[in-house]
Amino acid sequence: AGTNTVKAELRDFNLSPVWKLLRPPFDLASRATGSFTLSWNGAFDPLKISGSARLNLVATRQAPDASVLPVSGKLDAQLHPGRTLVNLESVSTLGSRLNGQFSLRSFREIEGDFRGNAPDVDALITQLSRFLGGSDNPTGAIKLKGPLQFNAHASGKLKGPTVSITSDVLELQAGVLKHLSARAEGKIEGSQITFQGTITLPESATVHAQGGLDISGRAPVLDLDAHGHGIPAIAVVKMFDSTLPVSGNLNAQLHLGGTPDALSGYASIAGDDLSLYREPLGRLDIDLRLADKEIQSKQCTLLNDPLNPASGRIDAQFTYALDSDRFQFQAGGKDLQLKRLALPN
């Protein structure tokens, strides 16, 4: 048998049927315009093809669906028997733009590196959740804002590669909290996502977090732990865009678990040597619980003198509904004296 050669020009060609011949783990929602050349000896065998392709991809839908990935951008491929090398340029998908290179061995194994950015981290997370079969509101009531940069490495079986990711959000806003930045490392293995990272607050304070996300079910299940020690109280004030003059240090820890629409967990905050407008306030202890989309205080106590807890104290209770922003607060005090409090005019 001789050598067979095919040269062709494509215009608005639907890639989905051809992509499915590779039995990939997701469908490709793109049309292609460009050219390709293929050659092989004897009977047609995808593993024995040589050739090249230069294609411009245009997504056939704006948003992804479960295991359906819309992709736009430029693709340059070199095919060798048993191995395909692909270069991606200005590819748009899942609310991000990326560049990268990857190789396919026998159309069964992948090895590649990618780098990219997303102007809106919340849009990226939402579209990724849709693609993985999750909800359209994966972060629940906590809306994230900020541009994200990332690097990723993929390796393993094409149907279920392991993906390692490092990401940075230099100007992060989480709900009403501002002036944050975050750096995280994560790994995707099958339906399990593990991650660890650091959130930087004003005053260079840091909070460390680690956890996992199980995406095997109808909704992703989160397991998150976070803690911070020696956080300046002024850093917390600045997160709310306030200039309130406070001092002292805080320790905090947090645990969250469950699906985005049914998160539950707890948090504790302890503050020492706190002062406001140079008035010593003492020690603060707060214990919070999250359930049914509501944050409720189990303890909120300010002790002016921790060695004399029977007097000079304030006890408070509050609830905050995440879905309606409804806030309720009540407090009572005993023998609390503010001697040096100097409020501004």
pLDDT in tens, the chain (345 residues): 578 999 999 999 999 998 888 778 789 999 999 999 999 998 888 788 899 999 999 999 999 998 899 999 999 999 999 899 999 999 999 999 999 999 999 888 999 999 999 999 999 988 988 887 777 777 766 788 999 999 999 999 988 899 999 999 999 999 889 999 999 999 999 889 999 999 999 999 999 999 998 888 777 788 999 999 999 999 999 999 999 999 999 999 999 999 877 889 999 999 999 999 888 999 999 999 999 989 999 999 999 888 888 888 999 999 998 888 889 999 988 776 666 555 565
Contacts of 204 (CB under 8 A, 6+ apart): none
Burial letters for 85-119: b for 16+ Cβ neighbours within 10 Å, e otherwise? ebebeebbbbbbebebebebeebeebebebebebe
**Distance, CA of 340 to CA of 221 (rounded, Å):** 49
Q: Which of 225, 285, 296 is nearest to 254 (CA)?
A: 225
Cβ-contact 74, 91 below 8 angstroms: yes
For residue 23, the Cα-to-chain-centroid distance in whole angstroms is 29
Cβ-contact 192, 223 below 8 angstroms: no
For residue 269, the Cα-to-chain-centroid distance in whole angstroms is 24
